[in-house]
Chains A and B, each alone.
Chain A
Amino acid sequence: MSEEGELTTIRCTIDGSPHEHRCHPLTSALDFLRYVAGLTATKEGCKEGECGACAITLDGVVVNSCVVPAAHLQGRRVGTVLGLSRPDELSALQKAFLECGGAQCGICTPGMLVTGARLLEEGERLTEARIREHMAGNLCRCTGYGKIVESLLRASEEER
């Protein structure tokens, strides 16, 4: 995997900033973010696309970065939790998570926020059923999900 000859250069934007790093093309996008680009905000939970802790957006589409090869990031827009807030202000969704108790241990939270923010972008009035369906690929072991549903409902109201 680490033979120098196999390395390729990946150019993409991450949360709006241009990035250029060399890595093996089959490195996962998750490892690329965490270990190559040094952006550890995106978390690993299962490494098989089941838990959603590593969720990012790729040109606006939510994907599990643990099962996407880094080569797929070439020339594309990557969105992580780091792009959701300004340096000194939380987004409406992050504020709602804070108020409603949407985060406990916090390890699933970056993925929850990325997946939830995408749902909010659709701009429709959210219902509990719609949230539960959209978020079903993101596992949380602490909250039992109710407070995350509440966080999304509150953020949706705030944004309207």
Chain B
Amino acid sequence: MRLVGTSAPRAEGEAKLTGRARYVDDLPLTDFLWGLTVRSTIPYGRILSVDFDAGADWSGVTIVTAKDVPGKNVVVLLEQDQPILAADRVMHREEPIVLLAHRDRDRLWELASRVRIEYERWEPVLDIDASLALEQRLFKDDNVFKAIRIDKGDVEAAFARAARVFERTYETGLQEQAYIENQGMVATWDAAAGRLEVVGSMQCPYYVLKGLCPIMGLAPEKVVVEQAATGGAFGGKEDYPTILAAHASLLSYKSGKTVKMIYDRVEDLVATTKRHPCRTRIRTALDASGSILAMDVDATMDGGAYCTLSPVVLSRGTIHAGGPYNFENIRVESRVVATNTPPNGAFRGFGAPQTIFAMERHMDNLARELGRAPHELREEYLLRPGQTTAFSQNVGDDVYALDIQREAVARTRFEERRRECEEFNRSSRWERRGIGLATFLHGAGFTGNGEVVLDSRLKVDVTADGFVQIYSANTEMGQGKDTTFSQIAADSMGLPMARVRIITPNTARVPNSGPTVASRTAMVVGYLVQEACGAVRKALEAHAGRTWRDPDDFASLAAAHHRERGALEGWSRYEPPPGKVWDDKVYRGAAYGAYAWACYVAAVRVRLDTLEVTVESFDAFQEVGRVLNPVIAEGQIEGGVVQGIGYALCEEVKMRDGVMANANFTNYIIPTFADVPEVKVHFAERPYPFGPFGAKGIGELPMDGPGPALASALTHALGVEVNRIPATPEHLLELLGNE
């Protein structure tokens, strides 16, 4: 092993650094039309009429409405409740109703304002409470897209014998992925061949393919989807690209031309998915000595107007709600409900940051209530080997919660700095300081039996001139997958990275190795890379009767194989790790193949006059199996932590009448260089036997910790419980005003 574990430079780095990388809006196109979407201006109601202003010049304009959908007007995902274009009623603001295409982009903008849509307005349901009160029935009988219950032990009996009950409610807001490259797609319908080609910014080419077929009424072999260089995604390009691809395809189908649709920032912010807002109430039964007898967790998420991925977001959120703790008795009840707001969807962490925020804040508040230090109370309940999670998974030896917290507490001098802050706060008139932590786990890969259902496959082949090529549907979106896959393949083959090529994810050329989501790519698919390479290696060695000495020798053996036996390729297919069983009916068992374990420590300084918060330090400790590439792994953690700092402190989506009111980067504030400290990243490594060279997934992990760690630090600084994020200065003022 020579490359895994080293900071090999990013495989596609040079193309990105020289401006040569082609993102969707950079693709050279000749003879194409621009596409534009006309959207609803009300949150809920019936469409009475759609008219095209007779005074405008509509020549050369392609117009598509629901009537033009050649297949079924439905976005097939978990449910089939969402139309690709609203036909008779609208369920949320900015719902697509009409599509326009024209050669001149500026004229399109003018024409969009000449489409007149008349509505009968209905009273919208805009928040969780109105939805649960059934003010309108938006989804089935109860407005609930999905409800889940987890039970361990006997919660009722524990509450019956409790000396007291400690209860709090926690809230997390909407968050925008804010990838810097807006969504974009190019579609070309070839009428003569009856074939559709789509290229664009996306995480999951096979999701787009699966979504397009029913809408376009095409068989899968008539549709090709390819990923262009993708400028960030964070979950935001998991499900939404299907919709944009379908819109561009519908316009291309009708016009017979290539159609390009690129959202601008405002459209991307108002129309595409965001992180689900969540409200979690936790009740704790305590005995007379302050020991925890039981936890009763109740979480509700706002799914928006259509189901989309909400049930699986809720699933991950529910499973992570119990944190890295061994509670003898715990119940988690959760639900995700419908409202007349744009559908919420995937965002790094996928439900876990919301519930982990609640549990970590609650452990902190409990410690405060009991007069104990936050890390001390946690220590008592952190999972030990052989103990079980809230969803009754015996973690066996794969548990590192206590070790990682102890390491974090020791190396950040947590206790000493807590005292220093308290001393400072006694003497300072204008400022307050605080330090806090959060301890958590994050499961990698699809939840429950999800990986089995995905049934991922991957192919590797060797060219006659001795290059190893990886065929996978997994996408590079900044996370470094092209590099880590190349490292894994190179080491598996005993070759330098320059001998490995990544085949562009294109559904006509690569097998379905599953979506690029859920912290699964490096761990689950990386393992498939290693296995497929193993198969190729074995075949070539068997044919040659020996192994190779160096890359040139490898090339000559590969050439001989091509001459004598033909092409040389190897396949791999996902198999669940042995002994991992999940029961979806009762939500018990091995929810994930592996967990990463983490403890994040944050220190803040707050100005009392403006309530401006400065993050003074941030330390992220995590156990991740094995680090494939230190620079890339650190980059994932640092970037996720800064997104988490934004989630905790400044990223506030202001909804007004069902639409984002601050839909631009002037008013939706993501952290800048000047807003964050150096994020210090510390890895502990304990190889995971079913990850490539021992690696676990880490993509989502860093999103979980900053919210609760910063709220903990703010609570320590200000002496008031901070139980809602984003903790903007306005929110802190409310809290302090109440004291």
Chain A residues proximal to chain B, CB less than 8 Å: 1-2, 34, 40-48, 50-51, 53, 80-82, 84-85, 90, 94, 97-101, 103-110, 113, 128, 131-133, 135-149
Tell me if B679 and A146 are in contact (CB < 8 A): yes
Q: Does B672 belong to the interface (CB within 8 Å)?
A: yes
Q: How far is the CA of A145 from the CA of B670 in the complex (A)?
A: 12
Contact with A along B8-27 (1 / 0, CB 8 A): 01101111111111110110
- The majority secondary structure among interface residues of chain B is loop
Q: How far is the CA of A82 from the CA of B674 in the complex (A)?
A: 27
Q: List, in ascending order, chain A residues with CB within 8 A of B635's CB.
A: 101, 104, 142-144, 147
Q: List, in ascending order, chain B residues with CB within 8 A of A148's CB.
A: 673
Q: Tell which of B55-63, B178-186, B485-493 binds the partner.
A: B178-186
Residues 654-690 of B at the A interface (beta carbon under 8 Å): 664-666, 670, 672-674, 676, 678-679
Q: List 20 A-B contacts (CB under 8 A).
A: A1-B107, A2-B106, A45-B182, A80-B19, A94-B18, A98-B17, A101-B632, A103-B17, A104-B10, A104-B478, A105-B231, A105-B478, A106-B16, A106-B21, A128-B678, A133-B674, A139-B665, A143-B639, A143-B642, A144-B635
Tell me if A141 and B670 are in contact (CB < 8 A): yes
Closest to A129 in B: B674
Tell me if A105 and B666 are in contact (CB < 8 A): no
From known contacts A107-B181, A141-B180, A146-B638, infer whether A51 and B16 are also in contact, taking CB-CB under 8 Å. Answer: no
State the Cβ distance, A92 to closest chain B Cβ, in Å. 12
Contacting A41 at CB < 8 Å: which of B7, B19, B107? B19
Closest to B665 in A: A50
Closest to A99 in B: B9
Q: List, in ascending order, chain A residues with CB within 8 A of B672's CB.
A: 136-139, 145
Q: Does B277 belong to the interface (CB within 8 Å)?
A: no
Q: List, in ascending order, chain A residues with CB within 8 A of B632's CB.
A: 101
From known contacts A40-B26, A51-B665, A81-B18, infer whether A45 and B639 are also in contact, taking CB-CB under 8 Å. Answer: no
Q: List, in ascending order, chain A residues with CB within 8 A of B352's CB.
A: none
Tell me if A105 and B18 are in contact (CB < 8 A): no
Kindly list the 8 A-B residue pairs having the minimum CB-CB distance in the complex, ordered from nearest.
A41-B19, A107-B231, A105-B478, A106-B16, A144-B642, A104-B478, A144-B638, A50-B665
Tell me if B231 and A43 are in contact (CB < 8 A): yes
State the Cβ distance, A67 to closest chain B Cβ, in Å. 12
Q: How far is the CA of A100 from the CA of B262 in the complex (A)?
A: 31
- 13 more CB-based (< 8 A) A-B contacts, given A53-B180, A103-B13: A1-B107, A2-B107, A46-B265, A84-B18, A101-B7, A101-B634, A103-B16, A103-B17, A106-B17, A107-B23, A113-B17, A142-B639, A143-B635
State the Cβ distance, B86 to closest chain A Cβ, in Å. 27
Contacting A104 at CB < 8 Å: which of B18, B19, B25, B480? B480
Q: How far is the CA of A154 from the CA of B26 in the complex (A)?
A: 31
Q: How far is the CA of A140 from the CA of B177 in the complex (A)?
A: 12
State the Cβ distance, A98 to closest chain B Cβ, in Å. 5
From known contacts A105-B180, A141-B232, A144-B638, infer whether A98 and B13 are also in contact, taking CB-CB under 8 Å. Answer: yes
Q: How far is the CA of A101 from the CA of B268 in the complex (A)?
A: 27
- The majority secondary structure among interface residues of chain A is loop
Contacting A48 at CB < 8 Å: which of B21, B234, B265, B631? B265
Tell me if A141 and B179 are in contact (CB < 8 A): yes
Q: Does B344 belong to the interface (CB within 8 Å)?
A: no
Tell me if B106 and A1 are in contact (CB < 8 A): yes
Tell me if B666 and A131 are in contact (CB < 8 A): no
Q: List, in ascending order, chain B residues with CB within 8 A of A53's CB.
A: 180
* Range for the number of chain B residues in contact with chain A: 35 or more
Closest to B234 in A: A141
Chain B residues proximal to chain A, CB less than 8 Å: 7, 9-10, 12-23, 25-26, 104, 106-107, 177-182, 229-234, 264-265, 477-480, 631-632, 634-635, 638-643, 664-666, 670, 672-674, 676, 678-679
Q: How far is the CA of A53 from the CA of B231 in the complex (A)?
A: 11
Q: How far is the CA of A40 from the CA of B26 in the complex (A)?
A: 6
From known contacts A50-B666, A131-B673, A140-B180, infer whether A103 and B10 are also in contact, taking CB-CB under 8 Å. Answer: yes
Contacting A135 at CB < 8 Å: which of B182, B639, B666, B673? B673
Tell me if A141 and B639 are in contact (CB < 8 A): yes
Q: List, in ascending order, chain B residues with CB within 8 A of A82's CB.
A: 18-19
Q: List, in ascending order, chain B residues with CB within 8 A of A99's CB.
A: 7, 9, 631
Q: List, in ascending order, chain A residues with CB within 8 A of B638's CB.
A: 143-147
Tell me if A48 and B19 are in contact (CB < 8 A): no
Q: How far is the CA of A30 from the CA of B634 in the complex (A)?
A: 33
State the Cβ distance, A87 to closest chain B Cβ, in Å. 9
Q: List, in ascending order, chain B residues with CB within 8 A of A48's CB.
A: 265, 664-666
Q: List, in ascending order, chain A residues with CB within 8 A of B231's CB.
A: 43, 105-108
From known contacts A43-B23, A48-B665, A136-B673, infer whether A144 and B639 are also in contact, taking CB-CB under 8 Å. Answer: yes
Contacting B478 at CB < 8 Å: which of A80, A113, A142? A142
Contacting B178 at CB < 8 Å: which of A97, A104, A141, A147? A141
Interface centre among B478, B479, B676, B678 (most CB of A within 10 A): B478
Q: How far is the CA of A84 from the CA of B14 in the complex (A)?
A: 13
Tell me if A90 and B17 are in contact (CB < 8 A): yes
Q: How far is the CA of A50 from the CA of B631 in the complex (A)?
A: 28
Q: List, in ascending order, chain B residues with CB within 8 A of A142's CB.
A: 232, 478, 635, 639
Q: How far is the CA of A45 from the CA of B14 in the complex (A)?
A: 21
Q: How far is the CA of A140 from the CA of B229 in the complex (A)?
A: 16
Contacting B10 at CB < 8 Å: which of A98, A113, A132? A98
Q: How far is the CA of A109 from the CA of B19 in the complex (A)?
A: 8
Tell me if B665 and A46 are in contact (CB < 8 A): yes
State the Cβ distance, B414 to closest chain A Cβ, in Å. 22
Q: List, in ascending order, chain A residues with CB within 8 A of B642's CB.
A: 143-145
Q: List, in ascending order, chain A residues with CB within 8 A of B478's CB.
A: 104-106, 142
State the Cβ distance, A142 to closest chain B Cβ, in Å. 5
Closest to B668 in A: A50
State the Cβ distance, B192 to closest chain A Cβ, in Å. 29
Tell me if A41 and B232 are in contact (CB < 8 A): no
State the Cβ distance, A39 to closest chain B Cβ, in Å. 8
Q: How far is the CA of A139 from the CA of B643 in the complex (A)?
A: 12
Q: List, in ascending order, chain A residues with CB within 8 A of B22's CB.
A: 40
